């Protein structure tokens, strides 16, 4: 196995610090300093705000349609617009598009998106403010084979690469044209695959090969990107790139995006997790949300993700010592002491559970009746666990604990019941007595017999993110004066809303080494005030939650996602989509659908909707829906099956990276895809 695949666990404080060197501060958002790159009249990086961009859908040879779309995007707030440039004629037509835009007084900078055709990039650089190239297919052909390269052969390949790439570098330098070196997961060269594998490290090194050529010729108007459809791969690759650039004293700005995100809520959640988590790390200078929808829908989503990020929040967290105890560039689930049993078990080897929190009022007298209603609500929401949030008055807590313990012992429902107890309330002697008298300590440790109606009853501690509270809880758990329980966080009194991403990092970095590794519950706080969604799928709060909770899950932190009673069924849907996007818990098929562009060979939006309707129930299956043969086979990366446009009205079908059917008529292609899935034993009938 190549050395690049071997990961050694860090053992010293200095090694942990080096792992987290990609960010200026793991516990609050401090934007990564970069050089400014000018794209026409728009600056990227430096002291500029995070720029919003999009890409045209229309055929680049249809000048009027492209100009109309660019004008619409500019009015919607797209500060930069990318235009697909698949061949020489498209590159030449950029001059006509530019001319028509000027006549309409539209001056948004243009980016030519070039794959496989270096000559098209040279022409495009004459007419646009920026050229985007993909290192995996600019001068290298993809064969999906791992050739053996000696060091001498690898050096020869780099010389060949330099010869092919140098003309574009010199042309861009001469004309003051910027360049995006945009690596995509799944479209790396055979040379990179051989040495680094199809990994985040391979993505980073692929881009750096091109950066070194640019620097050798004194050209530094460069923006870098590391796109992937898997948000964990995407996050790891950008972090690794930031760390490598810091080691190499490079300060190039970064373009963020989750590629092939798809459509609807799922696409917005994926984009918010990948882009939002990195923005909270201080990484990112320009973003594009890739939706399989009309391009104008991308702009408000992108703006909302930026607005919801930590760039606009001041954290109150100041108590962490050292770095969070995990590798931010290598996914590994955090190991915890298991709690619970059966379908409610919180453990590292189980998918994260979904909890519904119902807060009981202090004046509730008929607690058993209240519990029955709450249990029905939790079941309807599809939750695994009903969690009772206790009131803040000590007397009411005692009554509620007694009634809940009795109700649990009576096995009134197969739904598991837990209590959430603010750690501060345990300072009251009466609450401690009720806690002990109700046998919550015994119940929380009891292993129920197989087949029993009621699983073990978990206790959950509601912890305020302060040093004193975390130390008290850790000490009590370590000494055994409190039973093992899961932990959820709320902001400390008087603090601004601390991002959970940063709050959990701070807590886990400061958690004593000898204390039990408690399961972590990611709490989804409700909106303080109702918010009108900016589109039919999401609000800014939805995207904020996706970025925060999804960012932690992508780091391997989180054993349950907790919903609040006021969230309704939409909250449960959001929780499932966050877990699906991070592939921590799969509830439906995962669709990797590229955004429409001028290369698309069929109606991507309607086809994607049709395929999702037929195949959504195939839980755990990855299905790629790619508009063209140019990027499809590479960019669908680790999909199980692929549906790729190969010509007008014609589809190629793939199993993994292998094309198994060519030129299928579009009218028959979805049925043939279903047959293909059946033949490979992956089909199940929808329930």
117 and 174 both lie in a single domain: yes
Structure tokens at 362: 């202090």
Alpha-carbon distance of 659 to 662, in angstroms, equals: 7
Whether 451 has a pLDDT exceeding 50, the answer reads no
The DSSP 8-state label assigned to residue 3 in this structure reads: G
What pLDDT does 495 receive?
45
CATH number, domain containing residue 199? 3.20.20.20
Q: How far apart are CA 588 and CA 590, in angstroms?
A: 6
DSSP state of 487: E
Q: Is the pLDDT of residue 530 over 80?
A: no
Q: What is the pLDDT of residue 219?
A: 98
Pairing type for strands 51-55 and 80-84 reads parallel
Q: What's the gap between Cα 568 and its chain centre? A: 24
- Kindly state the average pLDDT of the residues 82-98: 96
Mean pLDDT, residues 456-469 taken together: 68
Mean pLDDT lowest for which of 91-100, 243-252, 522-531? 522-531
In whole angstroms, give the CA distance from residue 194 to residue 198.
9
Is 542 inside a domain boundary?
A: no
| Residues 421 and 513 grouped into a single domain | yes
Residue with the two structure tokens 């610090």? 17
Q: Say if residue 85 is in the same domain as residue 204.
A: yes
User: Is 225 within a domain?
Assistant: yes
Q: What is the mean pLDDT of the chain?
A: 83
Instruction: Please report, for the chain, how many H helices and E strands are present, in that order.
Output: 22, 22
pLDDT of residue 540: 86
Clarify whether residues 37 and 93 are in a common domain: yes
Question: Residue 325 and residue 184: Cα distance in Å, rounded?
Answer: 29
Of the listed ranges 164-173, 185-194, 296-305, the least confidently predicted one is 185-194
Residue 175 pLDDT: 96
What pLDDT score does 3 carry?
A: 31
- The answer to whether the Cα torsion of 511, 513, 514, 519 is positive or negative is positive
Residue 414's pLDDT is 41
- CA dist 274 and 257 (Å) reads 7
Residue 10 lies in a domain: yes
Q: Which residue has the higher pLDDT, 538 or 469?
A: 538
pLDDT of residue 435: 65
Q: How confident is the model at residue 433 (pLDDT cuts 50, 70, 90)?
A: low
Same domain, 278 and 408: yes
The pair of three-digit structure tokens given for residue 529, joined into one six-digit string: 């005030």
Residue 617: exposure state from Cβ atoms within 10 A (0-12, 13-18, ≥19): middle
**DSSP string covering 601-649:** SS-HHHHHHHHHHHHTTSTT-EEEEES-TTTHHHHTTT-SEEEEEEETT
pLDDT for 437: 59
Question: What domain range includes position 117?
Answer: 21-255
Q: What angle do CA 129, 134, 136 make, to 5 degrees?
A: 160
Same domain, 104 and 173: yes
Residue written as token pair 């243009």? 110
pLDDT given for residue 274 in this prediction = 97
Kindly report the CA angle at 512 between 507 and 516, in degrees rounded to 5?
95
Would the pLDDT of 5 be above 50?
A: no
Q: Model confidence at 88, in pLDDT bands (50, 70, 90)?
A: very high
Output the CA angle 339-342-343, nearest 5 degrees.
95
Given this model, what pLDDT does residue 223 score? 98
pLDDT of residue 636: 66
Q: Is 70 exceeded by the pLDDT of residue 475? A: yes
pLDDT at 99: 97
Instruction: Give residue-wise pLDDT tens across range 615-642.
Output: 999 988 999 888 765 555 656 667 899 9
List the beta bridge partners of residue 486. 460
Strands (E), 364-415: 385-389
Residue 273 has pLDDT above 90, yes or no: yes
User: Taking 60 as the threshold, does the pLDDT of residue 490 lie above it?
Assistant: yes
Which pLDDT belongs to residue 104? 97
CATH number at residue 612: 3.30.413.10
How far is residue 257's CA from residue 277's CA, in Å, rounded to a whole number? Answer: 11
* Long-range residue pairs from 532-541, CB within 8 A, at least 24 positions apart, any chain: 534/300, 534/301, 534/304, 535/297, 535/300, 535/301, 537/264, 537/265, 537/268, 538/265, 538/268, 538/269, 538/272, 538/301, 538/304, 539/304, 540/304, 540/307, 540/308, 541/308
Asked whether residue 89 is assigned to any structural domain, the reply reads yes
Residue 539 resides in a domain:
no
How far is residue 572's CA from residue 385's CA, in Å, rounded to a whole number? Answer: 12
pLDDT category, 149, cuts 50, 70, 90?
Answer: confident
Domain membership flag for residue 341: yes
Q: What is the percent of the chain where pLDDT is above 90?
A: 46
Is there a single domain that holds both residue 622 and residue 596? yes
Q: Quick one: how far is CA 83 from the chain centroid?
A: 25
Residues 234 and 278 in one domain: no
**For residue 617, what are the contacts with CB-CB under 8 A and spacing of at least 6?**
588, 589, 684, 686, 687
Q: Are 101 and 189 contained in the same domain?
A: yes
CB 140 within 8 A of CB 163: no
Can you tell me the distance from the alpha carbon of 180 to that of 598, in angstroms, rounded to the nearest whole number?
19
Phi and psi, residue 632, nearest 5°: -50, -60
- In this predicted structure, the answer to whether residue 363 has a pLDDT above a threshold of 60 is yes
pLDDT at 449 over 50: no
**In the prediction, which pLDDT does 448 show?**
29
* Of 6 and 188, the one with more pLDDT: 188
pLDDT at 522 over 80: yes
Q: Confidence band (pLDDT; 50, 70, 90) for 565?
A: low
Q: Is the pLDDT of residue 347 over 80?
A: yes
Span 509-529, average pLDDT: 79
Q: Higher model confidence: residue 312 or residue 118?
A: 118
Question: In the predicted model, what is the mean pLDDT of residues 452-456?
Answer: 38
- CA dist 543 → 51, 284, 602 (Å): 18, 17, 30
pTM tops 0.95: no
Q: Output the CA torsion sign for 370, 372, 376, 379.
A: positive
Same domain, 606 and 482: no
Residue that has been written with the tokens 């993909």 in this structure:
134
Structural domain count of the chain: 3
Residues 45 and 113 in one domain: yes
One domain for residues 464 and 322? yes
pLDDT score, position 14 = 85
The tens digit of pLDDT for each residue in 116-137 reads 899 999 999 999 999 999 998 8
Predicted pLDDT of residue 421: 62
User: In terms of pLDDT, which residue wins out, 422 or 75?
Assistant: 75
Q: Residue 394 pLDDT more than 60?
A: yes
Q: Name the residue with tokens 């049925």.
A: 671
Residue 54 has pLDDT above 90, yes or no: yes
534's tokens: 């900016």
pLDDT at 603 over 70: yes
Neighbours of 403 (CB within 10 A): 20
Angle made by CA atoms 641, 291, 223, in degrees to the nearest 5: 100
Q: Is residue 574 part of a domain?
A: no
Indicate the range of 86-100, 302-316, 549-563 predicted with least confidence: 302-316
First vs last Cα of the chain: how many Å apart?
43
Task: Quickly tell me which residue has 């519904």 as its tokens.
Answer: 356
Q: Cβ(470)–Cβ(351) under 8 Å?
A: no
Q: What is the mean pLDDT of residues 644-655?
A: 88
| Residue-level pLDDT at 598 | 60
More confident residue, 5 or 408: 408
Average the pLDDT over 346-369 and give the result: 84
SS3 at position 53: strand
Least confident of 140-149, 216-225, 618-627: 140-149
Q: Indicate whether 531 belongs to any domain.
A: no
Return d(Cα 292, Cα 82) in angstroms, integer. 16
């Amino acid at each position: 196995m190549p050395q690049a695949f071997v990961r050694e666990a860090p053992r010293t404080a200095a090694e942990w610090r080096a792992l987290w060197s990609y960010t200026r501060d793991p516990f609050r958002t401090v934007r990564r300093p970069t050089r400014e790159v000018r794209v026409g009249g728009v600056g990227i990086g430096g002291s500029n705000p995070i720029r919003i961009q999009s890409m045209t859908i229309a055929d680049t040879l249809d000048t009027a349609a492209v100009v109309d779309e660019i004008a619409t995007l500019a009015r919607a707030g797209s500060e930069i617009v990318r235009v697909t440039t698949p061949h020489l004629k498209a590159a030449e037509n950029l001059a006509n598009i530019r001319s028509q835009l000027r006549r309409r007084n539209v001056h948004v900078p243009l980016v030519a998106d070039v794959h496989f055709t270096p000559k098209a990039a040279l022409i495009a650089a004459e007419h646009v403010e920026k050229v985007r190239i993909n290192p995996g297919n600019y001068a290298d052909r993809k064969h999906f084979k791992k050739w053996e390269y000696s060091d001498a052969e690898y050096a020869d390949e780099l010389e060949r690469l330099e010869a092919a790439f140098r003309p574009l570098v010199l042309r861009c330098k001469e004309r003051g044209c910027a360049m995006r070196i945009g690596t995509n997961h799944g479209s790396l060269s055979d040379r990179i695959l051989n040495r680094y594998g199809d990994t985040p490290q391979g993505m980073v090194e692929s881009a750096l090969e091109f950066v070194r050529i640019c620097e050798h010729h004194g050209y530094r108007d460069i923006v870098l990107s590391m796109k992937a459809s898997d948000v964990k791969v995407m996050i790891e690759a950008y972090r690794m790139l930031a760390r490598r650039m810091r080691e190499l004293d490079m300060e190039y700005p970064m373009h963020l995006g989750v590629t092939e995100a798809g459509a609807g809520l799922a696409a917005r959640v994926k984009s918010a997790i990948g882009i939002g988590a990195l923005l909270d790390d201080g990484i990112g200078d320009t973003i594009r949300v890739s939706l399989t929808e009309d391009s104008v829908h991308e702009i408000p989503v992108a703006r909302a993700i930026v607005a919801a990020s930590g760039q606009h929040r001041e954290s109150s967290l100041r108590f962490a010592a050292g770095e969070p105890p995990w590798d931010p560039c290598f996914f590994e689930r955090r190991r915890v002491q298991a709690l619970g049993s059966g379908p409610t078990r919180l453990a590292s080897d189980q998918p994260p559970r979904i909890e519904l929190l119902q807060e009981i009022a202090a004046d509730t007298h008929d607690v058993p009746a209240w519990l029955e209603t709450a249990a029905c609500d939790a079941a309807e929401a599809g939750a695994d666990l009903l969690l009772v949030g206790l009131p803040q008055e000590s007397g009411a807590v005692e009554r509620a604990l007694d009634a809940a313990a009795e109700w649990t012992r009576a096995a009134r429902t197969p739904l598991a019941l837990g209590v959430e107890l603010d750690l501060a309330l345990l300072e009251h002697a009466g609450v401690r007595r009720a806690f002990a008298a109700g046998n919550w300590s015994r119940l929380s440790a009891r292993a129920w017999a197989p087949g029993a109606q009621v699983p073990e009853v978990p206790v959950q501690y509601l912890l305020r993110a302060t040093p004193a509270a975390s130390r008290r809880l850790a000490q009590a758990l370590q000494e055994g004066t409190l039973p093992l329980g899961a932990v959820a966080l709320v902001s400390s009194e008087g603090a601004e809303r601390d991002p959970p991403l940063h709050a959990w990092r701070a807590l886990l970095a400061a958690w004593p080494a000898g204390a039990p590794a408690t399961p972590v519950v990611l709490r989804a706080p409700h909106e303080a005030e109702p918010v009108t969604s900016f589109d039919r799928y999401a609000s800014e709060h939805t995207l904020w939650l996706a970025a925060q909770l999804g960012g932690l899950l992508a780091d391997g932190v989180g054993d349950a996602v907790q919903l609040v009673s006021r969230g309704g069924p939409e909250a449960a849907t959001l929780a499932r989509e966050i877990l699906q996007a991070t592939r921590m818990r799969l509830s439906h098929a995962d669709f990797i659908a590229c955004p429409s562009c001028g290369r698309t060979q069929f109606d991507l939006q309607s086809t994607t909707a049709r395929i999702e309707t037929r195949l959504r129930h195939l839980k755990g299956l990855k299905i790629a829906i790619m508009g063209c043969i140019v990027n499809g086979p590479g960019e669908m990366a680790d999909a199980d099956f692929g549906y790729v446009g190969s010509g007008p009205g014609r589809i190629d079908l793939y199993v993994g990276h292998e094309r198994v059917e060519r030129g299928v008529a579009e009218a028959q292609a979805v049925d043939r895809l279903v047959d293909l899935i059946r033949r490979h034993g992956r089909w199940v009938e929808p329930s």
